[in-house]
Structure formats: structure tokens, C-alpha cells
Structure 1
């Protein structure tokens, strides 16, 4: 069952990214949206979809609102595209990992500059 869940997570990640990319190109979201991960529950009833936004805090807020409105439509689109018996309900959560990585990288650069000056 775990292998099936992993395959579904990968499949949902690819499909949702494709759908979101098309919607971003159409101007439905603020900023550049990337789906970073999908975690499906063991009972396949729900899935958390993690996303990041390259843009302003307002872009992040707008994207969160748009994704919340998109939940049911996304399920219908995936049901049509994937022909699966059961599509989980999707909950979108902001993934701040890219921001954290950027902060860590900037700290390393500061440390490197300080080390070079010694």
C-alpha cells in the first residue's frame, strides 16, 4: 500500500503542477507558483499539497486564496485526467522551505566574507 501511495503522490504532484502552470500562465495567480510536494493520507481520503510562491507577500496571499477556491475543480480535473476510482480532497499549505534555504545561504555568504577578511 505504501508503494501505491508514493506513486499516487508523484502522479498528483506532476498533474497538479501541470494544471497550476497552465493557470499561472493565464494570469490566475499572483507570482510564480510551484507545487513542491503532495502527501496523501493512508486511507487515500485527503492529501496535503505544498506550494511555494516566488513573488510578494500579497502574491502569496492571493495564491493561497485562489488555491482554496480551486480545490473542488482540481479534484474534478484530476478525476477526468487520471480515471481513478477515488480522488482525495486536497488541502493546500504554504511551503516556506525555499525562503528558509535562501536565508541559510545568505548567512553562509556573510560567514564566508567574514572568514575571507581574517
Structure 2
């Protein structure tokens, strides 16, 4: 269970990284839309797992690799932005968030299920 402080730091990271991605790294994404869907912070606040969702992009893995290559620069920009609010600037680990795709697959499975009508029971 996450502590109140972990949740606060996760929200701060999500907000600030979203702004950094929209302003500073727009050219890196080349017209693709990247959103930060979730952030999980370790109990000591030193590591943050950042989950990204990519819209309008079929080659998500290559874009994720580019983001991972820029992690040091992203962390530096985040430190400049949030340095006065946090004692430790966390190390970021980026992951692809595929929950929307998973939900869509489940919806498709439910839509394709054929349930035969129930047979009416006759009273004897």
C-alpha cells in the first residue's frame, strides 16, 4: 500500500514529466502523442516507475528506447523543475502501459461471445 507521501510525489512526477514531454521533447516524438498514465514510487522515493501510453504510433518500442536514452536529460529537467519540492530526485524507469489495449481485447472477446437463448422450461 502506498503512503500519502508516495502518492503526492507520484502525482508531482506525472504532472511535471507531462509538461516536460509536451514542451521540451515534442520534436523527439515527431507528432506522436505520449501520455503518462501512471507513476509508482518506491517507499524511499528514490525510484519511480513511469508508465507511458502512445497514441498515433505503431512503433512504440523504438520510441520507448529513445525516451530511455534521454532519461538522464529528462531527470535533469525534472530536477530543475521540482528540486525545491523534493530532497531526492528519483531515478526514472519507463514502461509501456498496455492496459487500454488489454481492455480493448477483453471488450472484443465479450462482443464475440455467442450465448444461445435459454430454453423455456415447460410446467408439467
Distance (Å, rounded) in 2 between the aligned partners of 1:101 and 1:27: 30
Larger Rg computed on CA atoms: 2
Matching residue within 89, 103, 106 for 1:104: 106
1:66-97 superposed Cα distances (whole Å, 9 cap, x missing partner): 21012111111111111232111001011111
**8 Å contact 1:33–1:51 — kept in the other structure?**
yes
- Structure 1 stretches of 4+ with a deviation exceeding 6 A read none
What is the rounded CA distance, in whole Å, between the counterparts of 1:41 and 1:70 in structure 2?
A: 21
* 1:22, distance to aligned residue in structure 2 (A): 2.8
**Which residue does the alignment assign to 2:50?**
49
Whole-Å separation in 1 of the counterparts to 2:29 and 2:49: 19
The alignment covers a number of residue pairs equal to 112
Contact in 2 for aligned 1:32/1:53 (Cα 8 Å): yes
| Correspondences of 1:90-101 after superposition (within 5 Å) | 90-101=92-103
The answer for the alignment partner of 2:18 in structure 1 is 17
Structure 1 CA distance for aligned equivalents of residues 34 and 104 of structure 2 = 17
1:100 Cα offset (Å): 0.3
- Please tell me the root mean square deviation across aligned C-alpha atoms, in Å: 2.1
Q: Give the Cα separation in 2 of the matches to 1:48 and 1:93.
A: 7
Unmatched runs of 5 consecutive residues or more in structure 1: none
- TM-score scaled by length of structure 2: 0.78
Deviation, structure 1 residue 102: 1.1
1 or 2, which has the higher helix percentage? 1
